[in-house]
Structure 1
């Protein structure tokens, strides 16, 4: 049973329309604001003291502080009576196109076309770079296709990072935060010996997403290898083996982002984004390998 019901009023301005989904810690609803129109509302499942609720709402505070076109915007926050008691909530922009996995699966004849995939990745890096440039840096720790929203705008595709619920500031001395997240997207250092993660750990997660977009498979689909082979894993199969449209330059960028050793990866999202943007520029001048014809799509994201 959901915490909120259709037609329920939240605060002075929002009315619940329908549930959009849920995770381990929260439910997300589509709501209508009397002035701002359609928004998304995250409601936390966990109940606690005022201080605990305020800590959970720290995600909303962080998102509002980052303030970037490629990070989900937050509008308001508070608490609401639910079927299970008082719960914290916050409203954020609603993206009708769905998440990045929906976008990926909307292509029926193969992986996402290279140009679209790289454009999404450049935007993800731009939003993530704002968090990485905080002092001390903030690491997302749970970047997956399901917490990146993709829609369209006047300039084409627009990606927005959401779900900063696991985000943490790194230790100013070690540059690390405790490892957490979704297994297949976690960096090796966060899996072995309980070591922490860093901005380079987020880069690894973006590398996994890049590989998935370009090949339709995960770089390490074997969960046992992901968990226990992190210290000795071999490089993943080259993306071009799955997708001939991936040229050498793009392949090099993706495989460097996936390097098992953090020191050999791009140090943060800004550095990775700069490499991807440089690849885009080379492609636009005709120096990169031409792409194949894009596959059919079922719908426009």
Structure 2
């Protein structure tokens, strides 16, 4: 059962629920209309216990608001709302009509996306992520997947926005955390739940890059992912699946997927610099 119903007026009547957009383990996302701001997306948290826990989960809204970057989803308001399951935390963010990166990828039925479009998506993704990594201490996302990268259009073409910083944490020495989506998690994050770092986020971007360029994941042996991550066969070069990928782009993506975090670009800004160098040489 959905937490909110279409047509329902919530938070004192300032928002009208239009429809459910999606549901995950931790939240449901609705398209809503605000009396002044117009159409927005509202994320309602599904699993909430104490009021303190609600405030902790709503920290995603605080992180997103502080960044203020064009490639990070903007957050407008936050609070609690009475739902069919009881009081739940919520926040509203900009609504992106184009859908997520997986929608864009699967809608392109003629094979992988064009290489130029893929690199532009990665460039914008790295730009938004670099804003988070550039904080002191850095903010790490920890769950970059095709489903929480939103892709729309503006007057200049593709516009990418990173959402779902719900697993984001300030990077601290010794910080651990096993949350995330297995196929997109760095090997060090899979072992013993450790490895929250900017380099681990770069690995996730590398998985996204590989998927966009090839339509397959770099590692499909998820049954052995957690306990055998360090012993997996290295992924084959993306150019084996897509002849439009050149050797330099192969190298860039495979370095981001290096199982040793010390050999990867250390943060999104470094990966963005690699992408810029490739574009200049292409």
Equivalent residue, structure 1, for 2:205: 206
Correspondence for 1:251: 250
1:177 Cα deviation after fit? 4.0
Which residue in the other structure is 1:56 paired with?
57
**1:29 maps to what in 2?**
30
- 8 Å contact kept, 2:178–2:192: no
User: Does the 8 Å contact 2:73/2:161 carry over to 1?
Assistant: yes
Answering whether residue 183 of structure 2 is matched by residue 184 of structure 1, we say yes
Instruction: Give yes or no for contact 2:206–2:257 (8 Å, CA) kept in 1.
Output: yes
- The one-character-per-residue Cα deviations of 1:124-144 (angstroms, maximum 9, x if unpaired) are 000011111111111100000
Taking the aligned partners of 1:179 and 1:91, their CA distance within structure 2 comes to 27
Deviation, 1:84, is 1.1
1:1-301 counterparts in 2 under 5 A? 1-11=1-11, 12-171=13-172, 173-174=173-174, 176-282=175-281, 288=282
Q: Distance in 1 between matches of 2:10 and 2:156?
A: 34
Quick check: 1:18–1:29 contact (8 Å CA) kept in 2?
A: yes
CA distance in 2, matches of 1:116, 1:201: 24
Contact (CA 8 Å) 2:176, 2:193: kept in 1 or not?
no
Contiguous gaps of at least 5 residues in structure 1: 283-287, 289-301
**How many Å separate the matches in 2 of 1:131 and 1:208?**
19
Cα shift at 1:278: 2.0
The CA deviation string for residues 119-160 of structure 1, in whole angstroms up to 9 with x for no partner, is 000000000111111111111000000000000111100110
Give 1:277 deviation, angstroms. Answer: 1.8
Q: The residue matched to 1:151 in structure 2 has which SS?
A: strand
1:31 touches 1:41 (CA, 8 Å); kept in 2?
Answer: yes
C-alpha distance in structure 2 between counterparts of 1:115 and 1:30, whole Å = 31
Question: Where does structure 1 differ by over 4 angstroms across 4 or more consecutive aligned residues?
Answer: none
Q: Secondary structure at the match of 1:159?
A: strand
1:96-117 CA deviation, whole Å, 9 max, x = no partner? 1000000001111110100000
RCO higher in structure (CA 8 A, sep ≥6): 1
Q: In 1, Cα distance between the equivalents of 2:138 and 2:80?
A: 29
SS at match of 1:252: helix
DSSP 3-state at the match of 2:262: helix
Higher helix share: 2
User: 1-side partners of 2:138 and 2:59: how far apart?
Assistant: 16
Q: Is the 8 A contact 1:204 1:258 kept in 2?
A: yes
User: Shift in Å at residue 49 of structure 1?
Assistant: 2.1
Q: Provide the C-alpha distance between the structure 1 equivalents of 2:198 and 2:137, rounded to a whole number of angstroms.
A: 11
C-alpha root-mean-square deviation of aligned residues, in Å? Answer: 1.2
Q: Distance in 1 between matches of 2:111 and 2:269?
A: 29
- The question of whether the paired residues in 2 share the 8 Å contact of 1:180 and 1:186 is answered with no
Instruction: Normalising by structure 2, report the TM-score.
Output: 0.97
1:182-227 Cα deviation digits (max 9, x unpaired): 0000000111244322110000000000000000000001113422
Residues in 2 aligned to 1:266 and 1:189: alpha-carbon distance in whole angstroms? 15
Cα distance in structure 1, aligned partners of 2:250 and 2:113: 15
Cα contact 1:168–1:177 (8 A) shared by 2? no
